Amino acid sequence: RSPMAAPLSTAAASWLAEGTSPSPPRVRLLIGGDFVESRATEHVDVTNPATQEVVSRIPLTTADEFSAAVDAARTAFPGWRNTPVTARQRIMFKYQELIRANMDKLAENITTEQGKTLKDAWGDVFRGLEVVEHACGMGSLQMGEYVSNVSHGIDTFSIREPLGVCAGICPFNFPAMIPLWMFPIAVTCGNTFVLKPSEKDPGAAMMLAELAMEAGLPKGVLNIVHGTHDVVNNICDDEAIKAVSFVGSNTAGMHIYSRASASGKRVQCNMGAKNHAIILPDADRDATLNALIAAGFGAAGQRCMALSTAVFVGGSEPWEDELVKRASSLVVNTGTANDADLGPVISRQAKDRICKLVQSGADSGARLVLDGREIVVPQFEDGNFIGPTVLADVKSDMECYQEEIFGPVLLLMKAESLDDAIQIVNRNKYGNGASIFTTSGVSARKFQTDIEAGQVGINVPIPVPLPFFSFTGSKASFAGDLNFYGKAGVQFFTQIKTITQQWKESSPQRVSLSMPTSQ
Ligand code: NAD
């Protein structure tokens, strides 16, 4: 599956300062190429969700430290933007090699801090690695356009230039993939970057930063700050920062979108989701059930592309027994266990919130056909575990339907017809993705045309598109104009400049004050 993990370049991780009992190790900042300890007096604990053990803590970066990180990025920008794109790409080539060599270590850190299974954590890193691979072709991706002789002796061409200092704000659920959606594209375009990892699981981002330095990224090109609301607001307000990438919840995303836009920045925000699958009676039974189970309960439902609602045309009854049987057979365990299908959810608060939403569904008339709330995992009794949970007869006015649950909970709904099912999906405010399961090409084509969602699956659960496409959430799942990675990602991190030049033999001409036309 993976190559043997090669050791990181330093014996003790330089991104982590040793703890002294009872204090846990402290996660450092990355400023101007150095991993430095923050002088902050306030911290947030990073907790293993399977055990509640505090594995490290992040500082709430001070205002001075934040300014130093932005200054380092600003100082590094002129030299970096003038570094040939081939040299920038070559660093990404080296970087992808180093990430590959350290996949297992990165995955191990993700499982410890985030809880997902080791195999799933490996996928988290791999899907980010693919973006780094894509950035290796930046010379072609960033290429401009040229039209010769738009008028006599005049040519026009456009070039894509880096913006300057850009910033990224990350969620907890993909600690490696999402930072890698952001800075590899930004820096290979010639920008410099300030990254704020999730305060809940910063380790993978720090390891990735260490590997980026080892790959040859010059000092100051990538900087890392930690914290929560205050440092995010600093990012939104700082005039030196030209663009902000955000992935996370709608509450934070819409705040960041309006505050950062108000200070003139470009902003792209990937936000919450409620992804639906429509199942027609003619769907392939076995493949559909497997897809619903994998996309509903994988990563304990904490994926923005999780399928959280299944709309059965004709009703869910004929599917329920087998669905419940397969969901019940999943193994809930600590992510490091070989047999684990799903690990814990991120925090006790997240578990309480999920359980409350399940209860509100049951209280408002949904049938709880599988209840995983009381699960206890031997030896991990303190973990935030929830077993696969299925609510049937869910109606669109229920709170459990209107809220993003972000846990291993699958809602089953009934639709009278394909049109009715499409209307249910289109009425939902979110638009990250939707899938259909059917053997009818006519139905699939109608779905593809009429559905209002950014990412559409036909007989596949909702996929995260590969990096040559873009991640195209829509409606309330996205704010901004240019999506993450792919062509749109390069456009987001560059400013287009159009140049018109004239080179011709000099000859005496009369001055003309009329509007130039190319004739
Ligand atoms: P979150 O919004 O709580 O946190 C994301 C980031 O924003 C963190 O770095 C956090 O420190 C910061 N933050 C949180 N609240 C803030 C506030 N009020 N003001 C300023 N900053 C704030 O999200 P999360 O719980 O870490 O991640 C889960 C969410 O992310 C889910 O809604 C999920 O759907 C979404 N998500 C979306 C995508 C996508 O591509 N659409 C991908 C992954 C996750």
Mean per-residue pLDDT, 413-433: 98
| Residue closest by Cα to atom 30 of ligand 1 | 248
What is the structure's pLDDT at 12? 54
Residue-wise pLDDT for 23-50, tens only, equals 899 999 999 999 999 999 999 999 999 9
What is the Å distance from ligand 1's center to 20 Cα? 31
Q: Which amino acid is at 262?
A: A
Mean per-residue pLDDT, 170-191: 98
**8 A C-beta contact, residue 188 and residue 83:** no
Confidence (pTM): 0.96
The ligand 1 atom at the shortest distance from the C-alpha of residue 477 is: 41
What is the Å distance from ligand 1's center to 92 Cα? 27
- For 344, left (φ over 0), alpha (ψ -120 to 50), or beta? beta
Q: Which amino acid is at 166?
A: C
Strand partners, 156: 147, 500
d(CA 346, CA 172): 8
3-class DSSP assignment, residue 124: helix
Token pair 């923005």: residue: 304
The secondary structure of residue 477, as a DSSP letter, is T
Token pair 């290979």: residue: 188
Q: Which helix (H) or strand (E) element contains residue 213?
A: helix 203-215
Residue 512 pLDDT level (bands cut at 50, 70, 90)? confident
Pocket test for ligand 1, best of 304, 348, 469 (most atoms within 8 A of CB): 304
| Residue closest by Cα to atom 18 of ligand 1 | 252
Residues identified as active-site: 304
Residue-wise pLDDT for 483-506, tens only, equals 999 999 999 999 999 999 999 888
Cβ-Cβ contacts under 8 Å for 213 (sequence gap 6 or more): 30, 33, 222
Mean per-residue pLDDT, 75-101: 98
d(CA 120, CA 122): 5
Q: How many helices (H) and strands (E) does the chain have?
A: 16, 24
- CA 328 → CA 37, 170, 296, 303, 493, distances in Å? 46, 33, 13, 20, 45
The 3-class SS string of 136-201 reads: CCHHHHCCCEEEEEEECCEEEEEEEEECCEEEEECCCCCCCHHHHHHHHHHHHCCCEEEEECCCCC
Pocket test for ligand 1, best of 173, 224, 303 (most atoms within 8 A of CB): 173
As a whole number of angstroms, the longest Cα–Cα distance in the chain is: 92
Q: What are 205's two structure tokens?
A: 């981002």
Q: What is the DSSP string of 263-286?
A: TT-EEEEE----EEEEE-TTS-HH
The ligand 1 atom at the shortest distance from the C-alpha of residue 248 is: 30
Residue-wise pLDDT for 282-314, tens only, equals 999 999 999 999 999 999 999 999 999 999 999
Q: What are 290's two structure tokens?
A: 């497997």
The secondary structure of residue 236, as a DSSP letter, is H
Mean per-residue pLDDT, 188-216: 98
Residue 4 pLDDT level (bands cut at 50, 70, 90)? very low
| Residue closest by Cα to atom 21 of ligand 1 | 229
Identify the residues whose C-beta falls under 6 Å from ligand 1: 169-174, 196, 198-199, 228-229, 232, 247-249, 251-252, 255, 270-273, 304, 404, 406, 432, 471, 473, 477
| Residue closest by Cα to atom 15 of ligand 1 | 252
3-class DSSP assignment, residue 355: helix
Pocket test for ligand 1, best of 237, 249, 346 (most atoms within 8 A of CB): 249
What is the Å distance from ligand 1's center to 284 Cα? 36
Q: What are 408's two structure tokens?
A: 């291993």
- CA 28 → CA 75, 209, 349, 503, distances in Å? 21, 11, 26, 54
**8 A C-beta contact, residue 458 and residue 447:** yes
What is the Å distance from ligand 1's center to 291 Cα? 26
**8 A C-beta contact, residue 114 and residue 49:** yes
Mean per-residue pLDDT, 442-451: 98
Mean per-residue pLDDT, 68-97: 98
**Residue 74 above 50 pLDDT?**
yes
d(CA 422, CA 451): 6
The ligand 1 atom at the shortest distance from the C-alpha of residue 404 is: 32
d(CA 137, CA 142): 9
**8 A C-beta contact, residue 265 and residue 234:** no
Q: Which amino acid is at 176?
A: A
Displacement of CA 265 from its chain's centroid (Å): 20
**Residue 5 above 60 pLDDT?**
no
Residue 475 pLDDT level (bands cut at 50, 70, 90)? very high
Q: What are 52's two structure tokens?
A: 């509640």
- pLDDT averaged over every residue in the chain: 95
What is the Å distance from ligand 1's center to 503 Cα? 52
| Residue closest by Cα to atom 9 of ligand 1 | 198
What is the Å distance from ligand 1's center to 264 Cα? 22
Q: What angle do CA 215, 484, 97 make, to 5 degrees?
A: 20
